[in-house]
Structure 1
Amino acid sequence: MSHVGKSKILFVDDEEVICSMAAEFLEMQGFIVDTYEDSREAFDAFCRDPDDFDIVITDQVMPKMTGIELLKNIIGIRSAIPRILCTGFSEELNHKDEKEVGIDAFFMKPYRFDDLIGQIKKLV
């Protein structure tokens, strides 16, 4: 794990504006943030160095690979990494999948970055 305040976040959302806003707010809090708009690219980055990240925050509804699919792949490599799932569509979630992935926190969009930061600090 990284030192408090220098934790590295893997942040995944297919909306560029959300990625850039998240990076700005999280970096102002002292976090190191790698953002990806493509969940497959995010997974590839994770695979290159799974121990480089302290937490994964992902949107659920994305093209190519959903947030749940991404998290399932990630926990297949490193099961203990904290995970936060965000979505604007609650009906898109299958509660069996949610339990299987072991979501540490869940945020409905739109969410406040202050709330997200508070949750991150509890998990890392």
Structure 2
Amino acid sequence: MLVDLGIRMLAHLGYQVTGETDSRLALETFCRDPQRFDLVITDQTMPGLLGTELAEQMIDIRPDLPVLLCSGYGTRTTEEKAGNSGIHDVLPKPLSLPVLARTVAEALNRNNEC
């Protein structure tokens, strides 16, 4: 599964990772301890909520949370929806390790500067 690949890629980069394949389960996991998460990466098309909807709910709970959205639809509409949802950046699919590494580092650094 793509979630497993993302988990392996992030773990390879040295991050501790929690993965869910259902957005409602992801929100439930997040709500149990929102401060535990330094960053969230979500896919736009997941069972349950859209990635932008999940991001909005998580950011409502924790406004300083950096969120990245994965999308295979690299359209301006997706990027506008992402920006309107408070999402930091859109990751194109398929994911590559260098792009993932750079985008995650930039989101974490940008958040630490605020």
Question: Is the aligned partner of 1:104 residue 2:104?
Answer: no
Q: 2-side partners of 1:29 and 1:94: how far apart? A: 26
Q: Work out the percentage of aligned pairs sharing the same amino acid.
A: 34
Unaligned runs of 5+ in 2: 109-114
Within 5 A, what are the aligned runs for 1:43-122?
A: 43-90=27-74, 93=78, 95=80, 97-122=81-106
Residue 39 of structure 1: CA displacement?
0.4
Unaligned runs of 5+ in 1: 1-16
* Local SS of the residue matching 1:85: strand
Q: 1-side partners of 2:70 and 2:3: how far apart? A: 13
Opposite residue 38 of structure 2, the aligned amino acid is: D
Report what 2:112 is aligned to: none
Select which of 2, 9, 22 maps to 1:38. Answer: 22
Q: 2-side partners of 1:117 and 1:63: how far apart? A: 26
Residue 100 of structure 1: CA displacement?
2.3
Indicate conservation of the 8 Å contact 1:39/1:62, yes or no. yes
Q: 2-side partners of 1:33 and 1:94: how far apart? A: 25
**RMSD of the alignment, in Å?**
1.6
Opposite residue 121 of structure 1, the aligned amino acid is: A
Flag the structure with higher helix content: 2
Flag the structure with higher strand content: 1
Q: Would you say how many aligned residue pairs link Structure 1 and Structure 2?
A: 107
Q: Which stretches of structure 1, 4 residues or longer, exceed 2 Å deviation after superposition?
A: 89-95, 97-100
**1:7-66 superposed Cα distances (whole Å, 9 cap, x missing partner):** xxxxxxxxxx11111111211211000000000000000000000000010000122210
TM-score, length basis structure 1 = 0.79
Q: 2-side partners of 1:94 and 1:84: how far apart? A: 11
